[in-house]
């Protein structure tokens, strides 16, 4: 299971700083970057990886739910801070590439299931942590065309891997006498991830640059593991082998970052 906190990010940032210092003597300017942002997820749905699975059993099953949509849990992962550390190289005045480590500690799924004959209110929740490594390339179009401006727009794109961990998920059924709730096992999944970025840079000094950016990211799938489903009943707990469920995690964020160049 994924376990990382601010100390983990600090260690990685120090490691990147030491690496950048040793690489500063290369032919291309090397920099480190620290970023702080705020992100919000888009709507998503938890569904079975195979709605027809019987051994172990699919949690939702196939067919429409009580609201007419396919059976599932509809909602989003809310908002979270975005922390990022990067090591980059300025290939030209207008093109740079970098490797980054990102961390989103505060996602939590908040949604509503649509099981038949269970009422309209079927709240679902589970906490999520995301961490990833990506490679980015950034391009400054005005600089490439020879325009020298204090504020330099840029665009960028990146791809890499995302580790998504969700804790135990709870499904509640307040309209029913029993079961009143069920608990789905959590899980950790590694997915392909990609991002596109747009923003503007301002050189505070020869060494220090401020970037303000907007980013759209597809962080792959969040999955619950195959395991045991616990169903609360009036006098006992029912345990059922259950198959995986999954949901896509996409988000947008606004962020500010500082780049520090290691000049000869």
pLDDT of residue 238: 83
- 144 phi and psi, to 5 degrees? -65, -30
Asked if pLDDT for residue 3 goes beyond 50, the answer is no
**Arithmetic mean of pLDDT, 205-212:** 96
Residue 24 reports pLDDT greater than 50 = no
Q: Which domains does the chain have, with CATH numbers?
A: 6-258 (2.40.128)
**What is the DSSP secondary structure assignment for residue 60, as one 8-state letter?**
S
Measured on CA atoms in the order 7, 9, 15, 17, is the torsion positive or negative?
negative
Selection from 169, 131, 154 nearest residue 214 by Cα: 154
Asked whether the CA dihedral 85, 91, 92, 97 is positive or negative, the reply is negative
Span 211-217, mean pLDDT?
Answer: 98
Q: For the chain, what's the residue count?
A: 264
The neighbouring-strand residues paired with 38 are: 81, 254
Exposed e or buried b per residue across 188-222, where buried means at least 16 C-beta atoms within 10 angstroms of its C-beta: ebebebebebebebeeeeeeebebebebebbbbbb
């Amino acid at each position: 299971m994924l376990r990382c906190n601010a100390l983990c990010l600090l260690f990685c940032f120090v490691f990147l700083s030491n690496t950048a210092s040793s690489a500063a003597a290369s032919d291309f300017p090397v920099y480190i970057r620290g970023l702080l942002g705020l992100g919000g997820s888009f709507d998503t749905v938890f569904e079975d990886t195979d709605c027809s699975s019987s051994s172990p059993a699919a949690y939702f099953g196939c067919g429409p739910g009580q609201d007419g949509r396919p059976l599932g849990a509809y909602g989003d992962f809310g908002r979270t801070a975005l922390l990022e550390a990067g090591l980059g190289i300025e290939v030209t005045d207008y093109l740079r590439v970098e490797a980054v480590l990102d961390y989103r500690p505060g996602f939590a799924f908040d949604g509503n299931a649509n099981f038949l004959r269970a009422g309209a209110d079927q709240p679902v929740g589970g906490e999520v942590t995301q961490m990833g490594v990506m490679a980015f390339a950034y391009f400054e179009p005005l600089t490439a065309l020879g325009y020298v401006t204090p504020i330099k727009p840029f665009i960028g794109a990146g791809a890499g891997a995302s580790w998504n961990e969700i804790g135990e998920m709870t499904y509640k059924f307040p309209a029913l006498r029993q079961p009143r709730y069920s608990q789905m096992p959590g899980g950790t999944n590694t997915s392909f991830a990609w991002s596109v970025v747009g923003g503007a840079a301002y050189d505070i000094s020869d060494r220090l640059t401020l970037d303000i950016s907007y980013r759209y990211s597809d962080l792959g799938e969040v999955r619950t593991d195959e395991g045991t489903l616990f169903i609360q009943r009036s006098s006992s707990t029912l345990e059922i082998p259950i198959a995986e469920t999954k949901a896509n995690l996409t988000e947008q964020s606004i962020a500010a970052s500082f780049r520090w160049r290691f000049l000869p």
